[in-house]
Amino acid sequence: MAEQTYDILLADDEATFRETFAKVLREEGFSVTAVGNGRDAIDALTKHSYALAILDIQMPGCDGITVLREAAAVRPETRVIMVTAYGSVEMAVEAIKLGACDYVMKPVRFDEMLTRIQQQLHYSGLEAENQKLREELNGRFDISRIIGETLVMKQVFETVRKVAPTRSNVLITGESGTGKELVAHAVHSLSATSTGRFVAVNCSAIPETLLESELFGHKKGSFTSAFEDKQGLFETARGGTLFLDEIGHMPMGCQVKLLRAVEQRQVLPVGSTRPIDVDLRLIAATNRDLAKEIKENRFRQDLYYRLNVVGVHLPPLRERREDIPLLVEHFVRKYNAEMGKQCVRVSAEAMKRLVAHEWKGNVRELQNVIERAVIFAEGDTIEVTDIALVGAGTAVAVENCEDLQSAVRAYEKEQIYRALNKYSGDKAETAKALGIGLSSLYRKIDELAIPNGKRHARKLQDVGKVASAPPQVVERSR
């Protein structure tokens, strides 16, 4: 008997075999849907998810190979065993290439077939378990957002895995856009403080006069605008992780007080005489060369050594070009899902251009380019004309159009998208700014296939918030 109830689809036009084998499978504890032609098999796959499908190759309506292709498209998780009385090596090879897991010649021995079925279900169970483990790891480590297979990125992953369970301070270095905050999240997610808050502060975004108060807090009346007690970010992040981004921009006066906080695990709010104990994980990041900053007396050497117990350096994208196709694939999938688009490939010429680009903005720049490319792609393929690269001509999509109508269409599409972005997805404001009627805007959105669903509108709204709201503090609970 099967250890659990598995749903099996049996598709065979030979009635005696189909009915007899379905009975055998049900006696073994399986739930069986038995159909006699390819069309019914496709219909069943469309409506229901099966652990296993057993398909005869020669069937009326459409053959088993056609059903196999459909199964691969709509039910990739379903394992498929092909059965035929008219087999050939070529047919078997084609079936395996299309995703079949096994290929059986008639006449079928039921005991042998049951063994094969149990093997396939065992493999399916292993795959499901592995997928679950990968999803758990991704959820904790955000590994799905840190993509790379080059040696240098594997070394980054290994360093993160080793340092995360410790309480040691971590300093993440790298150019802007390389993913320093993602790595900080990964360290937090794998650490003992993962159940606590992850609090991020951009040290370059807060005026020097306010930075001390933001980090350490203040007491009511300690300065002119201190109308009430304020809890500092060190205290807010207690029991979790404090991420100090752009630490290289911190003024020297604050560095002295930060050093004391790091050394003693205590902070002294502005205007207070009573220190507060803070138990947290400290991660810092910078795009500056701190060795040079130390040499030029802009960064304290003792603070550097306190922060850089374990260093993680993220290389610029131009130094790991082999990862660009992986990143492109990831971002295409991401924006397909967000925009309801169906881009499934990037043309060879477009990929060559992406790989050859200098990417001064690194992964962040690449992400923006792919988002725009998915928006502008007319079919299922991203072409060179869909890509706009800074330094390579930002109007590439228009410049490469062969006729005036296509150029105007591309220009309109970009202007409308930019206006939607500027006005946070508000179509009334967008229409007003563009000088067109609201109905005309909706018509243009439909004609030009500009993403305008609720999810995208929210996304545009979020972009607007990031651009306009004070960016210095991001707080999350874990």
pLDDT digit string, tens, across residues 370-385: 999 998 888 889 998 8
Q: Could you tell me the fold of the domain covering 319-468? A: Helicase, Ruva Protein; domain 3 (1.10.8)
In this prediction, residue 91 has a pLDDT band, given cuts at 50, 70 and 90, of: confident
Least confident stretch, 6-10, 139-143, 342-346: 139-143
pLDDT digit string, tens, across residues 113-144: 999 898 888 877 766 665 555 444 444 444 44
Least confident stretch, 7-21, 159-173, 267-281, 426-440: 426-440
pLDDT at residue 1 greater than cutoff 50: no
The pTM of the full predicted model, rounded to 2 decimals, is 0.56
Nearest to 242 by CA among 207, 196, 293, 204: 196
Residue-level pLDDT at 74:
81
Over residues 99-107, the mean pLDDT reads: 87
In this prediction, residue 391 has a pLDDT band, given cuts at 50, 70 and 90, of: low
Residue-level pLDDT at 444:
81
Domain 7-137 superfamily per CATH: Response regulator (3.40.50.2300)
- What is the largest distance, in Å, between two alpha-carbon atoms of the chain? 91
Residue-level pLDDT at 466:
34
Residue-level pLDDT at 310:
96
Nearest to 306 by CA among 283, 287, 327, 329: 283
Cβ atoms of residues 422 and 433 within 8 Å: yes
Over residues 219-240, the mean pLDDT reads: 86
Percent of the chain with pLDDT over 70: 84
Over residues 26-37, the mean pLDDT reads: 93
Q: Which residues contact 286 (CB under 8 A, 6 or more apart)?
A: 171, 172, 173, 246, 247, 248, 249
Over residues 398-417, the mean pLDDT reads: 62
pLDDT at residue 44 greater than cutoff 60: yes
| Structure tokens that stand for 388 in this block | 């706009």
Question: Between residues 138 and 422, which one has the greater pLDDT?
Answer: 422
Domain boundaries of the chain, sorted by first residue: 7-137, 144-315, 319-468
Distance between CA atoms of 157 and 429, rounded to whole angstroms? 45
Distance between CA atoms of 392 and 375, rounded to whole angstroms? 19
| Average predicted confidence (pLDDT) for the chain | 82
pLDDT at residue 425 greater than cutoff 50: yes
Residue-level pLDDT at 424:
74
Task: Give yes or no for a cis peptide into 451 (omega within 30° of 0).
Answer: no
Distance between CA atoms of 329 and 366, rounded to whole angstroms? 11
Percent of the chain with pLDDT over 90: 38
Over residues 239-247, the mean pLDDT reads: 94
Residue-level pLDDT at 272:
87
Over residues 356-373, the mean pLDDT reads: 92
- What single-letter DSSP state applies at residue 318? G
CATH class of 144-315: alpha beta
Residue-level pLDDT at 401:
53
pLDDT digit string, tens, across residues 154-174: 899 999 999 999 989 999 999
7-137 matches 144-315 in fold: yes
